[in-house]
């Protein structure tokens, strides 16, 4: 951590993000990647349900109800990923040590590159479909842009969760003979 004094909020968040009571949920790389995959899937399903709600005639309420029900597991998986990364993206810079700060920079750079590729793919898809039909699918432009915005917002969390390392255990300690 830096030499800057931590505020009460910083100390509370640091204690919360380093709470190991839920460590069983993210103790292994497989579990962390499963949590990231579940989070991506839940995000896509909730986004799809909201798209159905806004694009369907008569605006049925079932997509909102199902999306609201899926929001709780989405929040739980967000917490699992934040716990696995020890709050890498949630803590303020002054609460991170040098290693965490460098990892945050790497994760943000990777997420930026991935989001750039997704934006390029989304723009190309709209342009190609508009060129084939002779008219751009305007109804899908707003949901696509919102989806890319959500992915842009969550990509650092997904990258951090995917790249999180195992905690050192007693059997990981190397002794010299």
Each residue of 131-154: pLDDT tens digit?
777 766 677 777 877 888 899 999
pLDDT at residue 68 above 70?
yes
Count: domains in the chain = 1
| 139 within some domain | yes
Give this prediction's pTM: 0.80
Q: By residue range, what is the domain housing residue 13?
A: 9-166
Q: Is residue 129 assigned to a domain?
A: yes
* Structural domain includes residue 123: yes
State how far the Cα of 163 lies from the Cα of 141, in Å rounded to an integer.
32
Residue 114 lies in a domain: yes
Encode burial over 90-128: b for 16+ CB neighbours within 10 A, e otherwise: bbeeebbeeebbebbeebbebbeebbeeeeeebeeebee
- Domain annotation covers residue 34: yes
Gap between the Cα atoms of 105 and 103, Å rounded: 5
Q: What pLDDT is attached to residue 177?
A: 45
In a domain, 158, yes or no: yes
Residue 93 is given by DSSP the state G
pLDDT in tens, 78-102: 999 999 999 898 899 889 889 999 9
In a domain, 177, yes or no: no
Has residue 175 been placed in a domain?
no
């Amino acid at each position: 951590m830096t030499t800057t004094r931590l505020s009460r909020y910083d100390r509370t968040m640091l204690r919360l993000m380093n709470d190991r009571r839920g460590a069983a949920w993210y103790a292994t790389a497989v579990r962390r990647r499963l949590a990231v995959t579940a989070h991506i899937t839940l995000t896509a399903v909730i986004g799809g349900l909201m798209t159905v709600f806004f694009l369907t005639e008569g605006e049925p309420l079932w997509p909102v109800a199902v999306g609201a029900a899926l929001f709780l597991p989405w929040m739980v998986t967000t917490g699992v990923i934040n716990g696995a990364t020890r709050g890498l993206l949630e803590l303020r810079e002054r609460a991170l040590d040098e290693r965490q700060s460098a990892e945050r920079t790497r994760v943000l750079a990777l997420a930026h590159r991935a989001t750039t590729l997704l934006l390029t793919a989304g723009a190309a898809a709209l342009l190609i479909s508009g060129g084939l039909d002779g008219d751009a699918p305007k109804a899908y432009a707003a949901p696509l842009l919102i989806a890319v915005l959500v992915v842009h917002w969550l990509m650092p969390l997904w990258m951090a969760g995917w790249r999180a390392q195992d905690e050192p255990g007693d059997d990981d300690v190397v002794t010299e003979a």
